[in-house]
A = this chain, B = another copy of it.
Amino acid sequence: MCQLLGMNCNVPTDIVFSFTGFAMRGGHTDTHHDGWGIAFFEGAGVRHFVDHQAAIASPVAELIKRYPIKSRNVIAHIRKATQGQVALENCHPFVRELWGRYWVFAHNGDLKEFNPVLTGSYRPVGCTDSELAFCYLLQELHARFGDAPPALPQLHAALAELLPGIAAHGTFNMMLSSGEALFAHCSTSLHYLVRQHPFPTAKLSDEDLSVDFSQVTTPQDRVAVIVTQPLTTNEQWTAFAPGELKLFVDGMVQDTPVA
């Protein structure tokens, strides 16, 4: 199994604090040492870093911890291989283009007997069930909406219909973003919190590190952090229910779409 970390904010925010704790699980406080990756949206562009080394040993992860890249949507992943060998092409998150936007996807879990028919517009490069699910998802979204990208509520509703069909094949905790919002789906384990004014001092559970967010924010800032297991010991994290899909926009949870 793997671990996921996502961030969705109303203003570009750096993820150095959360990533520092998260990366410790990549071979130090936990056993997810078969690669890692992180993608930051910056406008319509994406900075995409993947490494098949353990996150604690990776010079690229060191860079991320030191270089405060500011982004409104971030998805990160540390991998413990279950399907697919340890190789760069199997590291999450994966990136593809649809409707002239980049889409970023990461998955935690295992899918069994999942053999969707791919029409050829998106094909996996590696050999993970995760990348296969991502390709299938983009293909189905394109099939539904054609060349005209849907509004967010319609996209939310389409994913609410599509994801259970994939999740039925096993465990499908996942995060998906095209830079304007972040979708998170839980099969077994996902937690979130929203940091906003008055900002707390947060203390990492995986490393002896605290940050007083009130010193580095403005009262208008709002940041949602979504993660497999809570990252801090002194904040209130909310667990997703199994089967739950949540949409985060501007650091806030949106209502569930009505069919």
**Residues of chain A whose beta carbon lies under 8 Å from any beta carbon of chain B:** 42-52, 59-60, 63, 66-67, 87-91, 95-97, 99-102, 120-126, 147
Bound: A123/B97 CA distance, A: 7
Q: Is the CB of A91 within 8 A of B45?
A: yes
| Bound Cα distance A167, B165 (Å) | 46
Known A63-B63, A97-B122, A99-B123; contact A88-B43, beta-carbon cutoff 8 A: yes
Q: A59-B66, A96-B97 are in contact. List 11 more A-B contacts (CB 8 A).
A: A42-B87, A44-B88, A44-B125, A47-B50, A47-B51, A60-B63, A97-B123, A97-B125, A100-B125, A102-B125, A120-B147
Q: Contact between B122 and A45 (Cβ–Cβ < 8 Å)?
A: no
Contact indicator B44/A87 (Cβ below 8 Å) = yes
**Does more than half of chain A's interface fall in helix, strand or loop, or is it mixed?**
mixed
User: How far is it, in angstroms, between the C-alpha of A63 and the C-alpha of B61 when the chains are bound?
Assistant: 11
Asked whether, in the complex, the Cβ of B123 is within 8 Å of the Cβ of A100, the reply is yes
Q: How far apart are A234's CB and chain B's nearest CB, in angstroms? A: 31
A208 to B120, CA, bound (A): 49
Whether A43 touches B100, Cβ cut-off 8 Å, given contacts A60-B63, A60-B67, A121-B121, is: no
Interchain CB contact under 8 A, B120 and A43: no
Q: Determine how close the nearest CB of chain B comes to the CB of A58; give it in whole angstroms.
A: 9
CB distance from A103 to the nearest CB of B (A): 10
Expressed in whole angstroms, the minimum distance between the Cβ of A169 and any Cβ of chain B is 21
Closest Cβ of chain B to A137, distance in Å, is 14
Q: Chain B's nearest CB lies how many Å from the CB of A146?
A: 8
CB of A125 to closest CB in B, whole Å: 5
**A48 B45 Cβ-Cβ under 8 A:** no
Q: How far is the CA of A123 from the CA of B99 in the complex (A)?
A: 7
Tell me how far the C-beta of A123 lies from the nearest C-beta in chain B, rounded to whole angstroms: 4
Q: Give Cα A91–Cα B47 distance, bound, in whole angstroms.
A: 11
Question: Is there contact, CB below 8 Å, between A125 and B87?
Answer: no
Among residues of B, the one whose C-beta sits closest to the C-beta of A98 is: B123
- Listed from nearest, the 7 A-B pairs whose CB atoms lie closest are A45-B88, A45-B89, A100-B123, A44-B89, A42-B88, A120-B147, A59-B67
